[in-house]
Amino acid sequence: MSDFGYLDELFGEIEKRRGAAPEESYSAQLMADLPRAARKLGEEGVEAVVAALSGSDDELLGELADLTYHLLVVLAARGLTPEQVVDELKKRQGVSGLTEKASRG
């Protein structure tokens, strides 16, 4: 289990929905349709940006919660885990963000 605490629990619940009937589970619907899940992730990202620039703190928190949920769904749909994201972040620890970005070409 990663350092995510509750997010690990939420990810586990999302994973459990993989086998659910899509008409009974939004998570199952999204995992069965990766392009839709990816679009929802993008939409929530844009909504979070708008809330960050012009919304209240409560609006921003709501949008970030939506973004986080959809991020976890996309990870599950691709067969990836939050721990892998944490591992990637740890690889970058101690490396300047500018240096890391430049190394990606």
**Which tens digit of pLDDT belongs to each residue from 60-80?**
999 999 999 999 999 999 999
pLDDT for the residue numbered 4: 65
Q: 31 lies in a domain?
A: yes
Q: 101 lies in a domain?
A: no
Q: 96 lies in a domain?
A: no
pLDDT for the residue numbered 35: 98
Can you tell me which residue has the tokens 């839709």? 36
Q: 42 lies in a domain?
A: yes
Q: 53 lies in a domain?
A: yes
**Region 3-15 average pLDDT:** 89
Which among 85, 77, 88, 51 has a CA at the least distance from the CA of 66? 51
Q: 33 lies in a domain?
A: yes
Which among 19, 29, 21 has a CA at the least distance from the CA of 70? 29
Given pLDDT bands bounded at 50, 70 and 90, which one contains residue 102? Answer: confident
- The CATH number assigned to the domain holding 12 equals 1.10.287.1080
Q: The domain containing residue 60 runs over which residues?
A: 6-81
Phi, psi (deg, nearest 5) at residue 53: -85, -30
Number of domains within the chain: 1
pLDDT at 98 over 70: yes
**Which tens digit of pLDDT belongs to each residue from 29-55?**
999 999 999 999 999 999 999 999 999
Q: 19 lies in a domain?
A: yes
